[in-house]
Every structure is written in C-alpha cells, then in structure tokens.
C-alpha cells in the first residue's frame, strides 16, 4: 500500500525516432569508424607498407552521404566567425597549432591575439618572402601548400585521384565550355572528351592533385600566367577529401562541391578546380563576387555557369603566376588539368609535401 504508482507511456512514444535522427546517428558513427580506418592507413604509410585499394560499395557511399555534412559545414562556418575574447585566443589557437603543426613564424602577423576568430586565423596571410615563386619561364608552380596525391598524363578520359582510384574527366569538369569563350584555336576533331580539350597537335593533357591539410596555408594562387574565361560551380556533397577517403571512394571529387575555373595559357587549355570538403563549404574566388558556395538551396546534379568574357571584356580575367586567386575556410583539394607539349616533365613524387611557389613541372 506504500508503493507509489508509476506512470508509464506507450513504448512507441518513448522510443519514437525520426528518420533524421537515425541517419545522423548511423552516418556519424560510420564516419567515426572511417576516421579510425584512415588513421591505421596513415600509420601503414609511415612504415612504408603498401596500402591495398579497397573501394567503398554503393551502400557505404550512400550511408556516408547521409551525414548532413553541408548543414554541419555551415554551422562550423558560423562558429568560426564568432569573435573570441582576447584572453581565450592564445589558448585556442595554440591548441590548433600544436594539433596540426602550424608554422606561425611564416605568418604575416605572428601575434595570436590579432586574430579575432577562427576564420581569420585559418585565412592568415604569409610574410611577403615566405614563399618565393619559381621564376622558370615555362614552369607551372604549386598554387598552394599541400601534399601531392597524384600527377601525370590523363589517359582514356580518366584521372587518378590517388594511385589506383580514378574518376571521369567529363563528370569532373562537366560539359565542354563553349569554344567562343576561350581564346585558343579550335581543337582537331576527336571522339573523346579528352581529345576535345587538347587544342594543339602534339600536345597532351596533364593533371596534378594537391591536398591541403587543416594546418596548411589556406589561400591559393595562380599556378602560371593564364586567362580565366569561365567559372562552373557544382553544388554537391561535402565529404572528407583526405587521402584515406580518396583511396576509398571512387569519383570522390565528382561527388563533392567544387568550383572549376577554365581558360587558356600559352600552350592551350588550362583549368584549376577548388574542391570543397567537410567543414570547407566556403570556397572564395577573389575576382568573382557572384560566387556563393554551400548554399542551403542545393540541387543535386546541377551546376551553375558564369562567363568572364563579355562585350566589354574580350580577354577574360588575366592572372599572373603567383598572384592571389582564392581561399578555403580550412583545408581541401586543388586539381589542375591542363594541356602542354609532350616534353612537359613533372618534378614531383607522389605523397611529397609541397609549398606554394615551388615548381610542379616545366618544359
């Protein structure tokens, strides 16, 4: 008689889970598992053990894409813009510096109290002489600091994102840009997308993939003297692009949000693509004020075109080698795809670290 009555609710109400919560829980848990797998792969690489290629199945990719990375990236971007109290700045930035190995001696402003928020710290500028630009006349320089994931000739309309894992050239760049917007001559007739991009007889199509880690310098620059004629923005997923995930998901760069800049240099076609990633929804191109990435209005499989060639501007946007071009709001990936004569040679090794201004290759 002294026992209290317990008021219970139907089991269905207590354990009612919405589909969104299930997706976040399962997708987030699986993403954590993948992070652990990436760590194991990094340890194997450090020991010189060759890592076998194991591609994700369709259901694994779908599960990973179920994580609301676009929403999380926008939330992270807003958090980064919150002004930190002066007393908190040094401890927060020092932890980041220690975690990712940031070299603040190269920063234009070394005083950590100067950076009002994380976003300003991520986008810090370098001292003027910190990155001398290679002065070889026929060279292509690295547009950013980072790690070389892959490089070489494009073959069979496929590009390697890492060794053994490829993606479609046409899926990555999208349909060919209208020839009238570009300044070079008409390409010789060819059946493949790759042949249509090569405009001069005897030339080949080359590619180079550079991964920017969170601790790297986050701005990117012009890799050579060229003219930007066209911008294509692909709204897409924001999956991680670190080397472990790039080895796991085929056509990862085709899934993710990216900004493709195309134009020409002295040898023909030239393109630079900035690929977004988790927490890197913000891709900024300095001369393109109309570009807005990671917008809430996301249409899967779509892309937006913008031409810099007009009646008032027949030349597009001229860029000089080493000139500031844009920035990420954290690390990500840059892909160069360009045309050059057959005697173009890369001066690289897969997996090596490179800094902005160092030569990728030359004639």
Q: Rounded mean pLDDT of 160-189? A: 71
For range 268-284, the mean pLDDT: 86
Question: What percent of the chain lies above the pLDDT cut of 90?
Answer: 33
- DSSP lists the bridge partners of residue 284 as 327
Of 14-28, 161-175, 247-261, 277-291, the least confident:
14-28
Measured in degrees and rounded to the nearest 5, phi and psi for residue 222 equal -75, 130
Stretch 261-267: mean pLDDT = 94
pLDDT score recorded for residue 38: 60
- Position 52 scores a pLDDT of 62
Let me know if 221 is a catalytic residue. Answer: yes
Would you state the pLDDT for residue 185?
Answer: 47
Q: Label residue 334 by pLDDT band (50, 70, 90).
A: very high
Q: Indicate the average pLDDT of the chain.
A: 81
pLDDT at site 182: 55
Lowest mean pLDDT among 75-79, 113-117, 219-223: 75-79
What backbone torsions phi and psi does residue 162 show, to the nearest 5 degrees? Answer: -140, 170
Q: Which residue has the higher pLDDT, 167 or 296?
A: 167
| Range picked from 19-28, 124-133, 258-267 for highest mean pLDDT | 258-267
Helix (H) or strand (E) holding 25: helix 19-46
- The answer to whether residues 363 and 138 touch, using CB atoms and an 8 Å cutoff, is yes
Per-residue confidence (pLDDT) for residue 89, from 0 to 100:
92
Where along the chain do its domains lie? 139-174+193-362
Q: Residue 92 pLDDT more than 50? A: yes
Please name which of 9, 30, 31, 5 lies closest in space to residue 239, comparing C-alpha atoms: 31
Confidence at residue 268, expressed as pLDDT on a 0 to 100 scale: 93
* Residue 184 per-residue DSSP state: S
* CA distances (Å), origin 191, targets 121, 157, 197, 198, 204: 48, 11, 11, 12, 15
Q: pLDDT digit string (tens) for 78-90?
A: 888 889 999 999 9
**pLDDT of amino acid 27:** 47
At residue 4, the pLDDT reads: 54
Task: Single out the catalytic residue among 145, 216, 264, 288.
Answer: 145
225 is catalytic: no
Q: How many helices (H) and strands (E) does the chain have?
A: 10, 17
> What was the pLDDT predicted at 119?
84
CA distances from 12 to 16, 17, 23, 326 (A): 6, 9, 19, 52
Predicted local distance difference test score (pLDDT) of residue 253: 85
Residue 186 annotated among the catalytic residues of the structure: no
Q: What pLDDT shows up at residue 240?
A: 80
pLDDT digits (tens, 9 = 90+) for 217-235: 889 999 999 999 999 999 8
Choice among 119, 187, 271, 332 that is catalytic = 332
d(CA 153, CA 206): 4
Catalytic residue among 144, 187, 216, 221: 221
Q: What average pLDDT score do residues 9-14 get?
A: 49
pLDDT value at position 29?
Answer: 61
Three-state SS annotation for 331-348:
CCEEEEEEEEECCCEECC
- Is residue 101 within 8 Å of residue 216, measured between CB atoms? no
Cβ proximity of 285 and 273 under 8 Å: no
Range scoring the smallest mean pLDDT among 72-81, 127-136, 150-159, 334-343:
72-81
User: Which of 1-5, 237-241, 304-308, 326-330 is least confident?
Assistant: 1-5
pLDDT band at 15 (very low <50, low <70, confident <90, very high): very low
pLDDT tens readout for residues 139-153: 899 999 999 989 999
Which of 72-81, 126-135, 149-158, 268-277 is predicted least confidently?
Answer: 72-81
């Amino acid at each position: 008689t002294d026992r209290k009555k317990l008021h219970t609710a139907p089991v269905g109400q207590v354990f009612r889970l919405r589909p969104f919560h299930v997706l976040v829980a399962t997708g987030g848990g699986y993403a954590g598992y993948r992070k652990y797998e990436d760590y194991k792969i990094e340890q194997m690489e450090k020991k010189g053990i060759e890592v076998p290629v194991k591609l994700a199945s369709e259901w694994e990719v779908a599960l990973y894409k179920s994580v609301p990375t676009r929403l999380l990236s926008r939330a992270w971007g807003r958090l980064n813009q919150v002004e930190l109290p002066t007393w908190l700045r040094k401890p927060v930035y020092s932890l980041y510096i220690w975690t990712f190995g940031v070299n603040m001696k190269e920063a234009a402003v070394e005083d950590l109290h100067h950076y009002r928020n994380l976003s300003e710290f991520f986008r810090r500028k370098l001292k003027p002489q910190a990155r001398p630009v290679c002065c070889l006349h026929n060279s292509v320089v690295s547009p950013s600091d980072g790690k070389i994931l892959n490089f070489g000739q494009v073959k069979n309309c496929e590009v390697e994102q890492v060794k053994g894992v490829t993606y479609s050239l046409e899926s990555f760049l999208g349909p060919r840009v209208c020839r009238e917007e570009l300044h070079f001559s008409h390409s010789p007739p060819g059946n493949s997308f790759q042949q249509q991009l090569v405009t001069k007889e005897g030339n080949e199509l080359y590619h180079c993939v550079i991964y920017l880690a969170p601790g790297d310098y986050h701005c990117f620059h012009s890799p050579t003297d060229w003219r930007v004629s066209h911008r294509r923005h692909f709204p897409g997923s924001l999956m991680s692009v670190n080397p472990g995930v790039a080895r796991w998901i085929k056509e990862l760069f085709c899934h993710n949000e990216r900004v493709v800049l195309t134009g020409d240099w002295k040898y023909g076609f030239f393109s630079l693509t900035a690929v977004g990633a988790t927490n890197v929804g913000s891709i900024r191109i300095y001369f393109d004020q109309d570009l807005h990435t990671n917008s809430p209005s996301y249409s899967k499989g779509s892309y937006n075109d913008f031409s810099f060639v007009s009646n008032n501007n027949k030349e597009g946007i001229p860029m000089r080698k080493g000139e500031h071009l844009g920035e990420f709001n954290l690390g990500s990936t840059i892909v160069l795809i360009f045309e050059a004569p057959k005697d173009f040679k890369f001066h690289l090794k897969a997996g090596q670290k490179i800094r902005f201004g160092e030569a990728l290759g030359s004639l």
